[in-house]
Amino acid sequence: MGMSPDHICGHTYHGRHGAIKNAFRYRVDYVLTDLASNAESPRLFSRNKGNVTALYDVDHGGERGNGRGLDWVREVLTDHGFEGLTKGRILLLAQPRVWGHVFNPVAFWLVYDTSDVLRMVIAEVNNTYGDRHSYLCYHKDLSPILPTDRLKAQKIFHVSPFQPIAGEYTFRFDVTDEHVGIVIDYRSAESGVYATFHGRRQKMTNSSIIGAAVARPLGSLRVLALIHWQAVRLWWKGAGFRARPVAPETEVSS
């Protein structure tokens, strides 16, 4: 049968490094699921068809809006010399579509080995311009990813018009049967952002879906509105605005 979807109602926090300070914290709903599983899902959650909440393969894995889901992940692992990891569980942590709309500032593919040990995370980063780039996060010797580990990636993708395409990401992942915790600390010479997501794992139910829909009925539309509101605040505080550059030609970097 496999794993049925988990609903993580957590908190995300963003704090800006540098001379111009800005910070915010709000609730957000994520789904953690095994797309290869045929386990039963709540009636109000669907895969690749409309519902109150849903996950669509086209939303993840590869080109934005034309994703290939698990097939893309397995292709990337094979192309980068990690074919052995295609045989373990691969879980997707993402905000679902709510009433048909979705925007994930970042979603995560959690890649486990055949002993169910976390060995790699693919951070799938989207900007508000319709672009996407994914970062492979792993130890060079493929040792297990522990909560205390710090995994580095060079930033090459434009996300915020108030941050340069320079500097380095530091990722931390703490994923257990009870909890999901992710920290992304981005630093450049002039500024940066400290971002976190923490939430308790619980089985997705019709009740949890209804509760989220009542509390946050706009789903990721609310997330987009909050992103633009924070952009207005940064502009008002005098943060420099950068034009959108050309997206990287490669889909993946590490």
Instruction: Share the mean pLDDT of the chain.
Output: 90
Is pTM, for the whole model, over 0.95? no
What pLDDT sits at residue 240?
66
What pLDDT sits at residue 227?
72
What pLDDT sits at residue 79?
95
pLDDT digits (tens, 9 = 90+) for 115-174: 999 999 999 999 988 899 999 999 999 999 999 999 999 999 988 877 888 899 999 999
pLDDT digits (tens, 9 = 90+) for 42-65: 999 999 999 999 999 999 999 998
- Residues in contact with 89: Cβ distance below 8 Å, sequence separation at least 6, in sequence order: 3, 34, 36, 110, 112, 116
What pLDDT sits at residue 234?
64
Residue appearing with tokens 């605005």 = 241
Q: Would you say the C-alpha torsion 19, 25, 30, 32 has a positive or negative sign? A: positive
Higher local confidence (pLDDT), 50 or 228: 50
What pLDDT sits at residue 244?
79
